[in-house]
């Protein structure tokens, strides 16, 4: 090995010192930990979409618009423009807040912004329970903030193909405007909280909504909505699992493009349905809650509206 001598070492030390000074200076111009959190408005939508893209999520304008309508969107401005981070909290009465779209730009990650945003959202929720679905990135942080995992949820996507097990005739019919009061009541009973703001917007948000009727009124309902080139299925509430599966088939039969369904692992029959209809697992998140156990009759809640909303 060539001997480089003391002069060489001195030059290397000086270069190292210069690089360190540059890095420190850059850090100095980067985001301070006490950068204010502000409530975002619909004008911030383009920056929310750019932030999502920065983390390789879809930009999902349609979904963000619904979140701005029903939830509180908080964000931190990045010094150079745009957003350094964002989070959405959607409150359903005093019972549950669903937290979603927790995003910190790659450039600003691991500096405490995620924790600050989540703490901010939690401080303002004031609900007995907080619900979220956590990626592997978020889960350690949420555990430290008192969340506990109660299950897992996998997104299944793909081109839908019908199956011999599909019902010969639909078990459901298209939802009419006059069904809304009954759907609101059913949703509140099953979820244990009033989701009025959300459910009232679903007929405009969804491309299709269907209801199942029993002898004494509506016992189930489901929706399908466009998420860019994908049709997402959900919400889905039904009196029992066979009806849920049949309602899924009814919704899927009229869906266009790639299909997506977010299934909690407590519903293996729904996972089988997804696989049998040509979908495959895209990713899995942990379903987590903080505070009281979830209210309502969750045995009739088969699909969320979206992972960010519960
Ligand atoms: C999940 C996410 C929001 C976390 O944001 P974040 O700002 O990096 O979070 P924090 O900085 O508060 O905490 C994350 C980590 O940084 C560490 N950290 C916090 N401040 C730090 C600092 N000054 N220096 C070094 N590390 C620090 C935390 O201890 C934590 O460490 P760990 O994950 O090893 O346990 C971000 O990674 C993200 O947007 N991921 C992609 C999208 C996603 O998956 N979102 C979650 C959806 S549920």
CATH number at residue 220: 3.40.630.30
Task: Tell whether 15 is covered by a domain.
Answer: no
Any atom of ligand 1 within 6 Å of the Cβ of 138: yes
Averaged pLDDT, 47-76: 97
The answer to whether 114 and 214 are in contact (CB under 8 A) is no
Q: How many domains does the chain have?
A: 2
Cα–Cα distance for residue pair 229/227, rounded to 1 Å: 6
Higher per-residue confidence, 179 vs 24: 179
Any atom of ligand 1 within 6 Å of the Cβ of 113: yes
Q: Same structural domain for residues 119 and 169?
A: no
The atom number, within ligand 1, closest to the CA of 142 reads: 48
Q: How far is the CA of 124 from the centre of ligand 1 (A)?
A: 21
Averaged pLDDT, 43-55: 98
- The encoded tokens of residue 176 equal 């009419």
Q: How far is the CA of 110 from the centre of ligand 1 (A)?
A: 4
Any atom of ligand 1 within 6 Å of the Cβ of 61: no
Q: Same structural domain for residues 190 and 80?
A: no
Q: How far is the CA of 113 from the centre of ligand 1 (A)?
A: 7
Structural domain of residue 160, as residue ranges? Answer: 155-283+296-303
Instruction: Identify the pLDDT of residue 3.
Output: 40
Q: Same structural domain for residues 162 and 254?
A: yes
Residue closest via CA to ligand 1's atom 30 equals: 110
* Average pLDDT across the chain, whole number: 91
Q: Same structural domain for residues 113 and 193?
A: no
Q: Same structural domain for residues 277 and 164?
A: yes
Q: Same structural domain for residues 63 and 177?
A: no
The atom number, within ligand 1, closest to the CA of 115 reads: 12
Q: Same structural domain for residues 167 and 110?
A: no
Could you give the angle at the alpha carbon of 189 between the alpha carbons of 188 and 190, nearest 5°? Answer: 95
pLDDT of 12 higher than 60: no
pLDDT of 25 higher than 90: no
Task: Tell whether 197 is covered by a domain.
Answer: yes
- The encoded tokens of residue 127 equal 């609900």
Pocket test for ligand 1, best of 137, 144, 308 (most atoms within 8 A of CB): 137
The answer to whether 92 and 191 are in contact (CB under 8 A) is yes
Cα–Cα distance for residue pair 135/76, rounded to 1 Å: 21
Task: Tell whether 87 is covered by a domain.
Answer: yes
Task: Tell whether 9 is covered by a domain.
Answer: no
User: Each residue of 185-237: pLDDT tens digit?
Assistant: 999 999 999 999 999 999 999 999 999 999 999 999 999 999 999 999 999 99
CA proximity to 84, closest of 137, 48, 46: 48
Instruction: Identify the pLDDT of residue 31.
Output: 56
Q: Same structural domain for residues 121 and 229?
A: no
Could you give the angle at the alpha carbon of 137 between the alpha carbons of 25 and 143, nearest 5°? Answer: 110
Task: Tell whether 275 is covered by a domain.
Answer: yes
Pocket test for ligand 1, best of 111, 142, 306 (most atoms within 8 A of CB): 111
Instruction: Identify the pLDDT of residue 256.
Output: 87
CA proximity to 222, closest of 249, 197, 242: 249
Alpha-carbon torsion (104, 206, 95, 140), positive or negative: negative
Q: Same structural domain for residues 160 and 279?
A: yes
b/e code 29-40 from CB counts within 10 Å (16+ = b): eebeeebebeeb
Q: Same structural domain for residues 198 and 267?
A: yes
Q: How far is the CA of 142 from the centre of ligand 1 (A)?
A: 10
Q: Same structural domain for residues 184 and 104?
A: no
Task: Tell whether 215 is covered by a domain.
Answer: yes
Angle at which helices 45-54 and 61-70 cross, to 10°? 120
Q: Same structural domain for residues 162 and 264?
A: yes
Any atom of ligand 1 within 6 Å of the Cβ of 141: yes
- The encoded tokens of residue 150 equal 């109660």
Cα–Cα distance for residue pair 203/193, rounded to 1 Å: 19
Through-space distance between the first and last CA atoms of the chain, rounded to whole angstroms = 63
Q: With cut-offs at 50, 70 and 90, classify the pLDDT of residue 30.
A: low
- Domain ends where: 76, 107, 127? 127
- Domain ends where: 82, 111, 127? 127
Any atom of ligand 1 within 6 Å of the Cβ of 84: no
Task: Tell whether 243 is covered by a domain.
Answer: yes
Task: Tell whether 25 is covered by a domain.
Answer: no
């Amino acid at each position: 090995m060539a001997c480089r001598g003391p002069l060489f070492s001195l030059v290397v030390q000086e270069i190292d010192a210069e690089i360190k000074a540059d890095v420190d200076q850059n850090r100095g111009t980067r985001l301070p930990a006490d950068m204010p959190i502000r409530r975002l408005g619909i004008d911030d939508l383009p920056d929310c979409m750019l932030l999502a893209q920065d983390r390789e999520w879809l930009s999902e304008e349609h979904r963000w618009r619904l979140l701005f309508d029903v939830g509180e969107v908080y964000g931190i401005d990045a010094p150079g423009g745009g957003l350094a981070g964002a989070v959405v909290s959607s409150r359903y009465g005093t019972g549950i807040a669903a937290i979603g779209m927790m995003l910190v730009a790659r450039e600003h990650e691991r500096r405490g912004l995620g924790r600050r945003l989540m703490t901010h959202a939690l401080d303002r929720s004031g609900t007995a329970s907080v619900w979220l679905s956590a990626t592997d990135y978020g889960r350690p942080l949420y555990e430290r903030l008192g969340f506990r995992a109660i299950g897992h949820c996998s997104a299944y996507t793909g081109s839908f193909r019908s199956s011999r097990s599909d019902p010969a005739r639909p078990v459901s019919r298209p939802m009419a405007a006059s069904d809304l009061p009954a759907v609101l009541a059913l949703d509140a009973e099953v979820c244990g909280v009033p989701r009025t703001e959300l459910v009232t917007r679903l007929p405009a948000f969804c491309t299709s909504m269907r209801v199942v009727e029993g002898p004494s009124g509506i016992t189930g309902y489901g929706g399908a909505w466009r998420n860019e080139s994908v049709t997402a299925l959900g919400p889905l509430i039904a009196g029992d699992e066979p009806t849920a599966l049949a309602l899924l088939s009814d919704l899927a039969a009229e869906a266009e493009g790639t299909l997506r369904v977010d299934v909690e692992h407590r519903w293996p029959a729904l996972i089988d349905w997804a696989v049998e209809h040509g979908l495959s697992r895209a990713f899995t998140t942990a379903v987590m809650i903080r505070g009281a156990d979830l209210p309502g009759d969750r045995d009739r809640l088969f699909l969320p509206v979206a992972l960010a909303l519960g």
